């Protein structure tokens, strides 16, 4: 990489670079089960540095086909999307400015942590609601590139619904503004005699030529992060062409996002939580429609394994809550524990309602409680007279949001193996689907926690395995195939929010078929003709390559 470093210096690059063994080791992992050790980490100071990096790599690609660049912010990606064996571009260190926030919009850089972003939006009474469960660890750039969703997606949808404009470095190394265009504006773009004009021309021709096929390929689920979102790029009825729809969720495989404009929504002042304890899943057929009819803001779930794990490692939350807060949480489990003597529930369901007044929310919670009380429902009101971290419902949110972090950091003899961690099944099929899912988990003798967004039918199943043990590694492929086949049997998606990366990209043909996979790859080639951005991910992933890079040491 000496030639790259020298080339950057000659080009007037103002950022830093690092190829120390400790740094390369650190960047060889994200939150996935894969390992790819980069040869160089570059740390650009501004968009001009990013342009220089892309131009230099593009100029050297023909002579060195192994050269490529992968963007990385917080590195919380669970699919292997933020690792690479060539050059990693660190957007966390310098691209962390919140530029402007109003009651309806926000303008910020991709390296901003969501935990720093939300307090600033709340000062304006506003929220960007598509944050993931890893909200305290994730960056907003990662949210855009993965098309993240989370507990509020049931009400508001995913990140794709909130991105209004992007600054984006194309494959020719030029940063440009990307935003929705009218047909007249698109025609003007397509007349440009440059790489941008070529991209707009070819992407339009692709989506218009295969318009019906692309529209029909859109998964019939409430949330999806698989493939490239071509179905929302061009709308003949409205005449709007929106390239941001293709970039959001592309995992940096098409170019680099350097600046983001979001639409915000008003933050609700009050919330109430109804908690249901399900001894089995046979009543879900009745419960789920009843809950969804009540139009909750959030409908989440986690299983008995997650609950017991949360109780066991409750002291680990002391950094967030203080020891006094942890003690209160432990005490708050005592009444619930008395209920569990009658039988530990298989699933805990969390139904949250928001509103402008305490009375409004209390009325919604109590109405649903009256309908479902025979399912051992109990309700918790949060946010009226007590601090949120002291509320009775906080224990449930902590378990739901932080279960994956607990698994990664606290279970020492096994390791998280997120390979069936993000599928979506239409909620009406869950009564039949969940027992069959548990049967697969049992068949392959996997210890796994199950949590997810019940209202969307989006589940995160996290097996714990000894990945260095060949016996456990041999389970991954057959177990994944069995779960994927079951998901697709019920008309689902293999990823609702964690994206494809190395882990699900190889199965896009199974989900969409060869003709649609070819269209995905054509879109990638149009945007990135030299294949310099984030290789081996999404539509160009290959399981043999991915499996060969599963971690074998920890």
Q: In Å, what is the CA distance from 349 to each residue of 151, 312, 450?
A: 12, 20, 12
Strands (E), 183-314: 234-235, 240-241, 256-263, 265-266, 270-278, 298-303
In a domain, 419, yes or no: no
pLDDT at 317: 58
Q: Is 70 exceeded by the pLDDT of residue 335?
A: no
- Cα distance between residue 79 and residue 76, in whole Å: 9
Main-chain dihedrals φ then ψ at residue 93, nearest 5 degrees:
-70, -45
Q: What is the mean pLDDT of the segment spanning 112-121?
A: 98
**Is residue 368 domain-resident?**
yes
Tokens encoding 336: 């619930």
18 sits in which H/E element: strand 16-18
Judgement on whether residues 186 and 326 belong to the same structural domain of the protein: no
User: Are 134 and 190 part of one and the same domain?
Assistant: yes
Beta-carbon contacts of 131 under 8 Å, excluding residues fewer than 6 positions away, are 114, 118, 138, 143, 148, 150, 152
pLDDT tens-digit series, residues 8-19: 999 999 999 999
Q: Provide the CATH number for the domain around residue 25.
A: 3.30.43.10
Percent of the chain at pLDDT exceeding 90: 72
CA 118/CA 136 separation, integer angstroms: 10
Average pLDDT of the segment spanning 350-363: 89
Q: What is the share, in percent, of the chain residues with pLDDT greater than 70?
A: 87
Would you say 49 and 14 are in contact if contact means Cβ atoms under 8 Å apart? Answer: yes
d(CA 419, CA 441): 12
DSSP per residue over 460-498, as a string? EEEEEE-TTSHHHHHHHHHHHHHHHHHHHHTT-BS-SSS
Mean pLDDT along residues 83-97: 98
Looking at residue 432, its pLDDT comes to 93
Residues 234 and 297 in one domain: no
229: domain CATH number is 3.30.465.10
Specify the higher pLDDT residue, 13 or 400. 13
Q: How far apart are CA 89 and CA 49, in angstroms?
A: 10
Same domain, 226 and 145: yes
pLDDT in tens, 522-544: 999 999 999 999 999 999 999 99
Instruction: Identify the domain containing residue 537 by its residue range.
Output: 502-547
Judge contact between 297 and 387, C-beta under 8 A: no
Residue 472 lies in a domain: no
Structural domain count, the chain: 4
Mean per-residue pLDDT, 383-389: 30
What's residue 355's pLDDT? 87
Which one of 231, 250, 266 terminates a domain? 266
Tell me, what's the pLDDT at 281?
Answer: 78
Tell me the per-residue pLDDT of 238-263, one tens digit each, with 9 for 90 and over: 999 999 999 999 999 999 999 999 99
Q: What is the mean pLDDT of residues 505-529?
A: 98
Last residue of a domain, one of 401, 425, 449: 401
Distance CA 386, CA 552 (A): 47
Residues 240 and 117 occupy one common structural domain: yes
What is the dihedral sign for C-alpha 215, 155, 98, 94? Answer: negative
Q: Is residue 460 part of a domain?
A: no
Residue 331 lies in a domain: yes
Q: Running DSSP on this structure, what letter comes out for residue 82?
A: T
Q: 58 or 448: which carries more pLDDT confidence?
A: 58
pTM of the entire predicted model? 0.91
Mark whether 275 and 395 lie in a shared domain. yes
Whether residue 162 sits in one domain with residue 223: yes
Q: Is the pLDDT of residue 103 over 50?
A: yes
- Do 511 and 534 meet the contact criterion of CB atoms below 8 Å apart? no
Q: Is the confidence at residue 326, as pLDDT, over 70?
A: no
pLDDT of residue 342: 52
Q: Is the per-residue pLDDT at 521 higher than 70?
A: yes
239 shares its domain with 278: no
**Domain end (from 67, 90, 113):** 90
More confident residue, 210 or 415: 210
What mean pLDDT is reported for the chain?
89
* Residues 449-481: tens digit of each pLDDT: 888 899 999 999 989 899 999 999 999 999 999
Confidence of residue 323 (pLDDT cuts 50, 70, 90): low
Q: Is the domain of 364 the same as that of 385? A: yes
Question: Looking at the predicted structure, is the pLDDT value of residue 275 above 50?
Answer: yes
Largest CA distance in the chain: 72
Please tell me the predicted confidence (pLDDT) of residue 105: 98
Residue 371 in tokens: 């309908």
Mean pLDDT of 405-417: 66
Is beta strand 256-263 parallel, antiparallel or unpaired with respect to 163-169? antiparallel
- Across residues 173-194, what is the average pLDDT? 98
Residue 431 lies in a domain: no
- Give the span between the Cα atoms of 97 and 446, in whole angstroms: 43
Question: With contact defined as beta carbons under 8 Å apart, do 130 and 113 qualify?
Answer: no
Q: Does 28 share its domain with 72?
A: yes
HSE of 69, CA atoms in CB hemisphere, 13 A: 31
Among 46-60, 285-299, 301-315, the range scoring the smallest mean pLDDT is 301-315
Mean pLDDT to the nearest integer, 202-215: 98
Q: Looking at the structure, do residues 63 and 82 belong to the same domain, yes or no?
A: yes
Q: Say yes or no: 211 and 282 in one domain.
A: no
Beta strands of 242-376 (E only): which ranges? 256-263, 265-266, 270-278, 298-303, 347-355
Residue 323 located in a structural domain: yes
Q: Bin 117: left if φ > 0, else alpha if -120 < ψ < 50, else beta.
A: alpha
Lowest-confidence region among 281-285, 291-295, 503-507: 281-285
Q: Residue 161's pLDDT band (boundaries 50, 70, 90)? A: very high
Mean pLDDT, residues 135-146: 95
Which residues on neighbouring strands pair with residue 176, listed in sequence order?
168
pLDDT of 141 > 70? The answer is: yes
- Whether residue 408 lies inside any domain: the answer is no
- Kindly tell me if the per-residue pLDDT of 311 is higher than 90: no
């Amino acid at each position: 990489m000496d030639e790259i470093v020298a080339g950057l210096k000659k080009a007037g690059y103002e950022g830093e670079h690092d190829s120390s063994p400790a740094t390369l080791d650190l960047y060889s992992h994200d939150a996935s089960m894969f390992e790819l050790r980069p040869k160089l980490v570059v740390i650009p100071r501004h968009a001009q540095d990013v342009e220089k990096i892309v131009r230099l790599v593009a100029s050297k690609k023909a002579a060195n086909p192994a050269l490529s660049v992968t963007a990385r912010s917080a590195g919380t990606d669970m699919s292997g999307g933020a690792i690479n064996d060539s050059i990693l571009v660190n957007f966390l260190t310098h691209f962390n400015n919140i530029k402007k926030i109003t009651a309806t919009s926000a303008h910020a850089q991709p390296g901003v942590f969501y935990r720093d972003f939300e307090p600033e939006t709340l000062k304006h009474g506003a929220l960007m609601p598509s944050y993931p469960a890893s909200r305290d660890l994730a960056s907003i750039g990662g949210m855009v590139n993965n098309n993240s969703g989370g507990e509020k997606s049931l009400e508001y949808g995913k990140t794709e619904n909130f991105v209004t404009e992007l600054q984006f470095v194309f494959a020719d190394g030029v940063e440009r503004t990307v935003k929705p265009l009218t047909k007249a504006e698109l025609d003007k773009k397509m007349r440009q005699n440059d790489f941008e004009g070529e991209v707009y021309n070819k992407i339009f021709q692709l989506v218009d030529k295969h318009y019906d096929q692309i529209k029909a390929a859109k998964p019939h689920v409430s949330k999806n992060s698989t493939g490239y979102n071509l179905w929302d790029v061009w709308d003949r009825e409205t005449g709007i062409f929106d390239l941001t729809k293709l970039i959001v969720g592309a995992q940096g495989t098409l170019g680099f996002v350097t600046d983001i404009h979001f639409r915000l929504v008003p933050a609700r002042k009050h919330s109430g939580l109804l908690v249901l304890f399900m001894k089995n899943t046979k009543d879900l057929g009745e419960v789920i429609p009843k809950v969804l009819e009540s139009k909750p803001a959030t409908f989440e779930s986690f299983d008995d394994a997650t609950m017991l794990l949360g109780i066991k490692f409750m002291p680990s939350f002391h950094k967030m809550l203080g020891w006094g807060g942890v003690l209160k949480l432990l005490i708050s489990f005592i009444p619930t524990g008395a209920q569990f003597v009658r039988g530990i529930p298989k699933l805990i369901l969390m139904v949250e309602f928001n509103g402008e007044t305490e009375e409004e929310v209390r009325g919604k919670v109590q109405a649903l409680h009256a309908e479902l009380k025979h399912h051992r429902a109990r309700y918790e009101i949060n946010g009226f007279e007590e601090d949120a971290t002291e509320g009775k419902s906080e224990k449930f949110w902590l378990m739901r949001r932080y279960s994956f972090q607990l698994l990664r950091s606290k279970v020492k003899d096994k390791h998280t193996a997120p390979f069936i961690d993000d599928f979506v099944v239409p909620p009406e099929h869950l009564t039949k689907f969940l027992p069959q899912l548990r049967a697969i988990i049992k068949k392959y003798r996997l210890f796994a926690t199950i949590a997810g967004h019940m209202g969307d039918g989006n589940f995160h199943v996290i097996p714990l395995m000894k990945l260095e043990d060949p016996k456990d590694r041999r389970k991954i492929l057959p177990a994944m195939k069995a779960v994927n086949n079951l998901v697709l049997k019920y008309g689902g998606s293999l990823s609702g929010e964690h994206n494809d990366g190395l882990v699900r990209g190889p199965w896009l043909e199974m989900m969409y078929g060869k003709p649609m996979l070819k269209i995905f790859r054509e879109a990638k080639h149009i945007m990135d003709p030299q294949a310099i951005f984030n290789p081996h991910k999404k539509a160009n992933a290959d399981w043999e390559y991915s499996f060969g890079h599963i971690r074998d040491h920890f």
